[in-house]
Structure 1
Amino acid sequence: MIERAIAPAFREVENIDLIRAKPIILANGLKVFSIDGGEQDLVRIEFIFSNINYDSEKPLQTFATNTMLNDGTSELSSTEIADKIDYYGAFLQTEYANDHSTVTLFTLNKHLANTLPIVKAIISDSNFPQVELDTLIRNQKQKLSVSLEKNDFLSRKTFSKVLFGDTLYGYDVSASDYDQLDREQLLSYFKQAYQARNCTVIVSGKVKENTISLIDNYFGKDWDSALDVQENKFNFEVGAGAMHYLEREDALQSAIRIGQISINRIHPDFPALQVVNTILGGYFGSRLMANIREDKGFTYGIGSALVSLKNTGYFFIASEVGADVCSAALTEIEKEITILKEQLVTEDELSLVKNYMLGSMLGSLENSLSHADKFKNIYFSGLDYDYYSRYIHTLRNINIQEVQAIANKYLSFNSLEKVIVGKK
């Protein structure tokens, strides 16, 4: 008979074994990394391009180029591309992020010879048909119009602008920016960015010998790098911690987003600050949740996060609360930060958080695709697998005094930029 009043025993995570990426350099200099694992005959191939040559006069150029890659080539229409991919039971997607743009193919190995030529056409021969561009502009303007009615969207938009200014990270996109898009912009950026010298290929899943040879066949021989590329470089400084308030008189809820420029993954304090963040607001049992959701009932959810980007990192706290309790919620957030800085956490709370974080990391490594995701985190930060050894060492050994020291070093409520959308 199970005694349900007694929590089950747990064991500390001793070590986490990662499937290490095998590097391969093709004849044209294309960097390929293979992460082999799993029994299913499935492979994921990611073509990852660094975002380059940011121009604030053309803020949507990078996004639109990536979004339209599968909208047509000189020989295939968007419908033909979709039909061919569907015929082989494959899946093709484009993804745009702050630092990289990605084309990802999921396919069975037996169909790789049929699906790779489609990807090759997309990343070397896209022609951005005007009719598809007109549809993109129309749809994105409509989507923006709808989003601008949401307090949470406005808070994120304003917060990014406050922290990052007119860079790629923070540009305040308006409907008129979409009207400035034209085919020549996209074709120009496509020629500059979508070339072998600016691409990293990461292959994960059941990687067979002919998987790499097929990639070499289509991408290692006649896909050249015609131009030198300059990756985006931005410098940011911590702001003064001002209040940024956007009044919405009819709002029933106010969106809160507060934070500041912080460290990214390359900084040696990053793992320790992740521990502090988790205690404060990084999981469901965090102090912010316990206070502002469970005790005060101000919100359904509140959390904090530490985000690593290529050029910087940032810390933020976000929530939506009743408009009548917005000021009270800010007071409680400040209180929780102050307590974390002035009072030592208990050994029990720290032990719980450490085991939660180790367990979460272990649980996230369910297959070779997730091992590939872990590799991307370090590779694009210029780190090696030793980072994870140091990360685990920090989680296992950080003490309550170090937690307080890190909190005092990196957290100051007065220095946080405070964005409120709704009623203060």
Structure 2
Amino acid sequence: MIDRTLAPAFGQVENIELLEAKPIVLGNGLKVFSVNGGEQDLVRIELIFENIAYDASKPLQPYATNTMLNDGTRELSSSEIADKIDYYGAFLQTDFSNDQSSVTLYSLNKHLSATLPIVKAVISDSIFPQVELDTFIRNQKQKLSVNLEKNDFLSRKIFNSVLFGNTLYGYDTRAEDYDRLTRDQLQSYFSLAYQPENCTVVISGKVTDEALSLIDQLFGNSWKNGKSVNPNTFNFYQGTGQEHYVEKADALQSAIRLGKVSINRSHTDFPGFQVLNTILGGYFGSRLMANIREDKGYTYGIGSALVSMKNAGYFFIASEVGADVCTSALDEIHKEIEILKTQEVSEHELDLVRNYMLGSMLGGLENAMSHADKFKNIYFSGLGYDYYQNYIKTVRTISPRELQALANKYLDWDGLEKIVVGKKLKAES
């Protein structure tokens, strides 16, 4: 008989096999990476462009250009693009991040000859119609107006600005920035950024020879380079751990965001810091959740994360708590950080975290597309697949003493920028 009062024994993950991306270079220098796997007749084709030529006087230029790519070409209107993609059961989306902008197509292989030329038109022949730009500006200003009433949005906005200043990473967007957008700005950025020299293609799923041949046909020599480009490069410096309060007298909850500029994936300490972060606030069983949600009842959720970007990384802790317990919540966060710096993590807790992290990584590799996502993480960080071998080794072997040393190295309470949006902080009885 099974004794159901006893938890099952841990079965730690020993090794994780990744489908490695195979490189192909087309005649015009375009870099293509193929991750082949799975039985379903489906592929995801991502065209990823480095963000370039950031101009603080035109802060929304890269974002607006990417967002409006599928709003019309010389031959197709926005509705015609959408109708053609829908007709073939495909899906086309654009995405913008701090370092890259992308255009992604999900399509059945049998329809690629019909859907992929639309993508080619979008990334080489977009015209940014004025009527669509006017709609974009109107919608974005309305969205910003609504978001500015949300404490958590304001706290993120202030946090990014405090850490990263007047750069693409931290620009404090205002409604008037949208009013300054013009078609000429978008067309100028489009012609510079959306060219083969600045593009990486990642195809994943059931990758056929026919699909690769079609990519070569559409995006190879027939797609010409323009002017040379230089990716954005930013330098960031540690702040002084200041307190930033935005008082909202009628707030029932206060949004808290604490953090600092930190290391990114290319740093040797990054995997160990990820283990430390998971213990502190990186999963539902973390210390911050156990204390501030489960024990104190101050919040529905609290978490921490270590984020890697090209030019920097950053660490943050975020939550929304009852306005009347905001000071107490900050005190408890401080306490949990100090415990990690002064007391070694128990082997039992560390084993739980090891299994959670390795299990999450293994569980997240469900198809070729998720393997491609792992490839993008290392490729755009200038790393190789040995990063994951080192990551797995670190998670499996890092010691409590090493974690304590990392806590003292990276978790400096006085160095954390402290943003609170809500009621003004005051001592609680």
CA distance in 2, matches of 1:363, 1:231: 34
Looking at structure 1, the residues matched to 393 and 347 of structure 2 have their Cα atoms a distance apart, in angstroms, of 17
Query: Is 1:194 the counterpart of 2:231 in the alignment?
Result: no
| 1:399 and 2:390 matched | no
The 2-side partners of 1:297 and 1:8 are apart by 30
Deviation (angstroms), 1:3: 3.7
Partners in 2 of 1:115 and 1:349 — Cα distance?
50
Correspondence for 2:271: 271
Give the unaligned 5+ runs of structure 2: none
The secondary structure found in structure 1 opposite 2:310 is: coil
2:307 maps to what in 1?
A: 307
Root mean square deviation, CA, Å? 0.7
Rounded Cα–Cα distance in structure 2 between residues aligned with 1:177 and 1:354:
46
In the other structure, the counterpart of 2:19 is: 19
**Identical pairs, percent:** 72
Counting only pairs closer than 5 Å after superposition, residues 107-146 of structure 1 correspond to structure 2 as 107-146=107-146
Residue 157 of structure 1 corresponds to: 157
- 1:2 is displaced (CA, Å) by 4.9
State TM-score, norm by structure 1: 0.99
Match of 1:73 in 2: 73
Between the aligned partners of 2:200 and 2:225, the Cα distance in structure 1 is 13
Hey, what's the Cα distance between the residues in 1 that align with 2:37 and 2:271? 27
1:358, CA displacement in angstroms? 0.6
Which residue number corresponds to residue 287 of structure 1? 287
Q: Within 2, Cα distance between the matches of 1:4 and 1:155? A: 45
What residue is the counterpart of 2:321 in the other structure?
Answer: 321
| Equivalent residue number for residue 223 of structure 1 | 223
Aligned AA for 1:121?
A
- How far residue 355 of structure 1 moved from its aligned partner, in angstroms, is 1.0
5+ residue gaps, structure 1? none
**1:267 partner letter:** H
Answer yes or no: is 1:349 the counterpart of 2:386: no
1:308-354 deviation per Cα after TM superposition (whole angstroms, max 9, x unaligned): 00000000000000000000000000000000000111111111111
Question: 1:87: which partner in 2?
Answer: 87
In the alignment, residue 52 of structure 1 is paired with which amino acid? Answer: I
Instruction: Find the aligned partners of 1:407 and 1:361 in 2 and give their Cα distance.
Output: 23
- CA–CA distance in 2 between the matches of 1:5 and 1:107? 49
Partner residue in 2 for 1:233: 233
Corresponding residue of 1:248:
248
Q: Distance in 2 between matches of 1:126 and 1:158?
A: 34
Q: Determine the structure 1 residue equivalent to 2:101.
A: 101
How far apart, in 2, do the equivalents of 1:7 and 1:204 lie? 39
Supply the AA of the counterpart residue of 1:420. V
Q: CA deviation at 1:9?
A: 2.6
Partners of 1:10 and 1:212 lie apart in 2 by: 43
Counterpart position of 1:209: 209
**Secondary structure class of the residue paired with 1:349:** helix
TM-score of the pair, normalised by structure 2: 0.98
Specify the SS of the correspondent of 1:73: coil
Q: What is the aligned partner in structure 2 of residue 40 from structure 1?
A: 40
CA distance in 1 between partners of 2:28 and 2:221 (Å)? 6
CA-CA distance at 1:10 after TM superposition: 2.9
Distance 1:115 1:96 in 2: 22
Task: Give the aligned residue type for 1:395.
Answer: V
Superposed displacement of residue 215, structure 1: 0.2
Deviations 1:130-157 (A, max 9, x none): 0000000000000000000000000000
**Deviation string, structure 1 residues 247-286 (Cα, Å, up to 9, x no partner):** 0010010000000000000000000000110000000000
Tell me how far apart the structure 2 counterparts of residues 136 and 322 of structure 1 sit (CA, whole Å). Answer: 36
Report the alpha carbon displacement of residue 38 of structure 1 after superposing the two structures with TM: 0.3
Instruction: Tell me how far 1:221 sits from its aligned partner.
Output: 1.7
Query: How many Å separate the matches in 2 of 1:9 and 1:399?
Result: 21
CA distance in 1: counterparts of 2:13 and 2:88, whole angstroms: 41
Alpha-carbon distance between aligned partners in 1 of 2:121 and 2:178, rounded to the nearest angstrom: 26
Count of paired positions? 424
Partners of 2:139 and 2:8 lie apart in 1 by 52
Equivalents in 2 of 1:140, 1:199: separation in Å? 27
Equivalent-residue separation in structure 2 for 1:79 and 1:346 (angstroms): 58
Q: Structure 2 CA distance, aligned partners of 1:107 and 1:290?
A: 43
CA drift at 1:11: 1.1
* Counterpart-to-counterpart distance in 2, 1:32 and 1:146: 40
Cα-to-partner distance string for 1:399-420 (whole Å, 9 max, x where unaligned): 1100100110111111000000
Amino acid aligned to 2:60:
L
Q: 1:381: which partner in 2?
A: 381
CA distance in 2, matches of 1:5, 1:35: 44
**Structure 1 residue 5: Cα displacement:** 1.9
- Residue 6 of structure 1 deviates from its aligned partner by 1.9
| SS at 2:54 equivalent | coil
* Aligned-partner residue type, residue 409 of structure 2: K
Distance 1:356 1:100 in 2: 30
Question: 4+ residue runs of structure 1 moved beyond 3 angstroms?
Answer: none
1:74-93 deviation line (CA, Å, top 9, x unaligned) = 01000100011011110000
Which letter maps to 1:99?
D
